[in-house]
């Protein structure tokens, strides 16, 4: 990314800290998704192939073949678990200052988003790149069609912020510059929605179930 892009009107100032990254767009997100898929395949296919070879070689090797299949299954599951962790609530003070921050956060969104946040702790936001679920330390992007999700790890600056204040900072950054937000954030996982859903806490799973139909309609 050129320095002029980071300094463009409306661009996030944090882009200057990651000037080597290409600004996120539809092409870059599709490419990132394909690379994650290829990486997963490259890690799992050798175990599947080894399981076939061992299984056909001799019956006594069947336990080792099963072990290879377990490894092949576990690798994408571990990736998905890492992606799901971006929506985990952060530790923080949740007393009086949190109630004030929560009230300010409620002023930024409509009734439906406030209600979903009350049930899940996540904020739903539709953008050009897909439907976002924004948490206190990360965000999940449900891509158009609803089948693939990108999980981003990103933190609001400023120590001691109440959790809802952190969420409000991320939401405002997303609204200010959605491609810039996706550029600054660190991609923790990209893959099938169903795989990430299994690893989410029940409240976050509920929010993902709300976001998926909206993304399919795009």
- DSSP codes of every residue in the chain: --HHHHTSTT--GGGGGGTTSPPP-HHHHHHHHHHHHHHHHHHHHHHHHHHHHHHHH-GGGHHHHHHHHHHHHHHHHHHHHHHHGGGSPPP---SHHHHHHHHHHHTTS-HHHHHHHHHHS-EEEE-SS-EEEE-SSEEEEE-TTSSEEEEEE---SSTT--HHHHHHHHHHHHHH-HHHHHHHSEEEEEEEHHHHHHHS-HHHHHHHHHHHHHHHT-
pLDDT of residue 160: 65
pLDDT of residue 74: 95
pLDDT of residue 118: 84
Q: With beta carbons less than 8 A apart as the criterion, state whether 20 and 134 touch.
A: no
Q: What is the mean pLDDT of each run of 10 residues along the chain (218 residues)?
A: 51 88 95 96 96 93 95 95 91 56 64 85 93 94 96 77 79 93 96 95 95 85
Q: With beta carbons less than 8 A apart as the criterion, state whether 114 and 125 touch.
A: no
Kindly state the tokens that stand for 161.
């912020």
Using the structure block, give the residue that is written with the tokens 């809802």: 164
């Amino acid at each position: 990314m050129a320095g002029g892009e980071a300094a463009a009107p409306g661009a996030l100032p944090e882009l200057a800290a990651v000037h080597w990254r290409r600004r996120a767009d539809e092409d870059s997100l599709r490419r990132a998704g394909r690379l994650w898929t290829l990486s997963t395949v490259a890690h799992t296919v050798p175990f599947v192939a080894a399981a076939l070879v061992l299984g056909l070689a001799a019956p006594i090797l069947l336990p080792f073949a099963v072990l290879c299949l377990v490894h092949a299954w576990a690798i994408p599951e571990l990736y998905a678990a890492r992606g799901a962790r971006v929506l985990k609530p952060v530790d923080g003070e949740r007393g009086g200052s949190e109630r004030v921050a929560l009230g300010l956060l409620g002023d930024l969104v409509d009734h439906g988003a406030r209600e979903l946040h009350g049930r899940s702790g996540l904020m739903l936001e539709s953008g050009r790149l897909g439907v976002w679920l924004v948490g206190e330390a990360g965000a999940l992007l449900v891509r158009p069609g609803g089948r693939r999700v990108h999980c981003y790890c990103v933190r609001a600056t400023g120590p001691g912020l109440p959790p809802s204040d952190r969420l409000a900072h991320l939401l405002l950054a997303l609204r200010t510059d959605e491609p810039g937000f996706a550029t600054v954030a660190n991609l923790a996982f990209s893959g099938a929605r169903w795989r990430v859903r299994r690893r989410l806490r029940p409240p976050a799973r509920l929010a993902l179930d709300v976001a998926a139909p909206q993304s399919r309609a795009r």
